[in-house]
Amino acid sequence: MALRLYNTVSKEKELFEPVNPGKVGIYVCGPTVYKPSHIGHAVGPVIFDALKKYLTFKGYQVTLVVNITDVDDKMIIEAANRGISVAELADEVSASYFEAMNLLGVDSIDMFPRATAHIEDMFDLIRKLMAKDAAYAVDGDVWFDVSKCRDYGKLSHRKTDDQLSGTRKLASESKRNPGDFALWKKAQPDEIGWQSPWGYGRPGWHIECSAMSMKILGETFDIHGGGMDLVFPHHENEIAQSETATGCVAAKYWMHNGLTRVKTKSASGEWQNEKMSKSLGNVKTLKELFVEYDPKLVRFFLLSTHYRRPIDFSAEALDAVQKGMMNLLRTIERVGRITKTDIFKLGCDLSLLESKAQDRDREMVKEAGQAQLKYLEALDDDFNTAGALAVLFQYSTMLNRYIDHNQLEGSCDDNARIVLAQLGAMITSLGRVIGVLTGPLNSAANDNNGLVDQLMQIFIELRAQARKDKNWALADAIRDKLKAVAISIEDRPEGAVWQQTK
Ligand SMILES: [Zn+2]
């Protein structure tokens, strides 16, 4: 199987062949750390962490870099409002960002370079561009001359006229072309800044990423990622800077993820989708979101949509995905209970499965092999995690039918236990490939700080007492009334357990 990835430059799915065989370098544009992270900040890291896990599974040695923009106009304003320094603000917001990433299972990022630690690298790059007459200084500002980049627009597929009209209003008298953008911006002496060969100032946003990606991953690396909103001007300008300076292709594959949209009510009362942004008052921070929803669910949710599609973010959408995820988790839990095995920790070995399978198991074992194949095929097709997860849903349904059909709940000998555990581990081991289904959901995060579970324990105890007192009418009434609100109680040797049935 061969991985194909959609490249924004060619607008086609291309066969993935890294620059250096066996090794992959990925650079993803990270956050500007001025406000606590919201769901929009989680999309890129979750997708590219999952992609790294998949590439690692395929045998590549992967380096994943996510930058932190820690100096920026927004940061200066926020720090001033709060009466703290820009560095203090950056430290505080980065710390909460790292914590949120950890909770989301984003644990494969190798480096988080900070812009302020790479100022010298930016100087070097600007000097190279000046030597090629592609950059010029005017009164303390340094500009990139877009007319010196022949294929400017190759990523965003904009014609030069579009670029000019889009930027005309901002055009400065001192620029050679209206589309020229800042590499270095003059700053006032009392503002945060650095002494540069062109005067006191701050770097432009685009030059940060060109300098850091090149420094860490080399002049040509494999994958450059980021949100679709970064295609123009940020990534177009990165390409212009890097490729004009080195004469090489900056990144072989440019991958852009869809943005989060949030449902809001318009003035006329209709629901509409809007791009996620801080200016929308109803956007929760990740920290707030994790009080209500387990981060494992949030990760699963973000990977339930193909990465190039927009993600409609709402409580309803999260709840819908949670139901699907709970079905998978219930299957895993059921297999674990019957086989007395921790399926989350078990690897699936198809040859062991085939050697232990009896006649009645053959069909299901074949399904397991098929599920694995289809799952990996979906990931190879432009990293279609949504398609891959759909394979798991189908497989889980078949596995439940197999358990029911063979009445494995009632009797399960050692051999049947090994086969069933392996069949269950197919779900968890495939989930692990993209870092999902790594453990049960924390119910406390899903139902108002565990209140529902606490209330349910009271009902279960009352029902147990009624049964003990041989008050069957009351015991049945409790069960039936719960059933009416879609809660089922199942009596098991270890005690009664409850679950939501819709
Ligand atoms: Zn960037």
pLDDT of residue 368: 98
The set of residues, in sequence order, having a beta carbon less than 8 Å from that of 173 and lying 6+ positions away, is: none
Q: 303 by DSSP, 3-state: which?
A: coil
Question: What is d(CA 106, CA 435) in angstroms, rounded to the nearest whole number?
Answer: 8
How much distance in Å is there from the Cα of 234 to the middle of ligand 1? 7
How much distance in Å is there from the Cα of 273 to the middle of ligand 1? 26
How much distance in Å is there from the Cα of 27 to the middle of ligand 1? 9
pLDDT of residue 474: 93
Neighbours of ion ligand 1 (CB under 5 A): 29, 209
How much distance in Å is there from the Cα of 225 to the middle of ligand 1? 9
Residue 149, Cα to own-chain centre: how many angstroms?
33
Contact 321, 304 (CB under 8 A): yes
Calculate the average pLDDT of the chain: 91
Q: 499 pLDDT exceeds 90?
A: no
How much distance in Å is there from the Cα of 315 to the middle of ligand 1? 30
Q: 60 pLDDT exceeds 70?
A: yes
Question: What is d(CA 4, CA 109) in angstroms, rounded to the nearest whole number?
Answer: 22
Q: Which helix H or strand E contains 264, and what residues bound it?
A: strand 260-265
How much distance in Å is there from the Cα of 479 to the middle of ligand 1? 56
Q: Which helix H or strand E contains 226, and what residues bound it?
A: strand 221-227
- Pick the range with the lowest mean pLDDT from 59-63, 342-346, 404-408, 456-460: 456-460
| Mean pLDDT, residues 50-74 taken together | 97
Q: Please, how many CA atoms are within 13 Å of residue 482, restricted to the half-sphere of its CB?
A: 24
How much distance in Å is there from the Cα of 70 to the middle of ligand 1? 12
Residue limits of CATH 3.40.50.620 in the chain: 4-257
* Rg (the chain; Cα; Å): 27
pLDDT of residue 168: 47
pLDDT of residue 159: 76
How much distance in Å is there from the Cα of 469 to the middle of ligand 1? 68
Percent with pLDDT over 70 in the chain:
90
Q: pLDDT: is 35 or 488 the higher one?
A: 35
- Confidence class of residue 314 from pLDDT cuts 50, 70 and 90? confident
Q: What is the CATH number of domain 286-433?
A: 1.10.730.10
- Confidence class of residue 494 from pLDDT cuts 50, 70 and 90? low
How much distance in Å is there from the Cα of 200 to the middle of ligand 1? 23
Q: 63 pLDDT exceeds 70?
A: yes
Per-residue tokens: 217: 């991953």
Q: 199 by DSSP, 3-state: which?
A: strand
| Mean pLDDT, residues 472-496 taken together | 83
Question: What is d(CA 339, CA 408) in angstroms, rounded to the nearest whole number?
Answer: 9
168: left (phi over 0), alpha (psi -120 to 50) or beta: alpha
Per-residue tokens: 35: 């406000």
How much distance in Å is there from the Cα of 95 to the middle of ligand 1? 20
Q: 266 pLDDT exceeds 90?
A: no
- Pick the range with the lowest mean pLDDT from 207-211, 248-252, 493-497: 493-497
User: What does each C-alpha distance from 497 to 64, 410, 480 come to in angstroms?
Assistant: 43, 17, 15
Residue range 149-198, pLDDT digits in tens? 989 999 999 876 555 544 544 455 689 999 999 999 999 999 899 999 99
- Segments of 35-173 assigned E as strands: 61-66, 135-138, 141-144
**Backbone φ, ψ for residue 226 (5° rounding):** 165, 175
How much distance in Å is there from the Cα of 224 to the middle of ligand 1? 9
pLDDT of residue 295: 97
- Confidence class of residue 96 from pLDDT cuts 50, 70 and 90? very high
Residue limits of CATH 1.10.730.10 in the chain: 286-433
Q: 409 pLDDT exceeds 70?
A: yes
**Backbone φ, ψ for residue 306 (5° rounding):** -60, 140
Q: 79 by DSSP, 3-state: which?
A: helix
How much distance in Å is there from the Cα of 213 to the middle of ligand 1? 9
pTM of the predicted model, to two decimals?
Answer: 0.86
Class of domain 4-257: alpha beta
pLDDT of residue 449: 47
- Residue ranges of alpha helices (H) inside 104-151 are 119-131
- CA-based end-to-end distance of the chain: 38
How much distance in Å is there from the Cα of 214 to the middle of ligand 1? 12
Strand pairing class (12-15; 4-7)? antiparallel
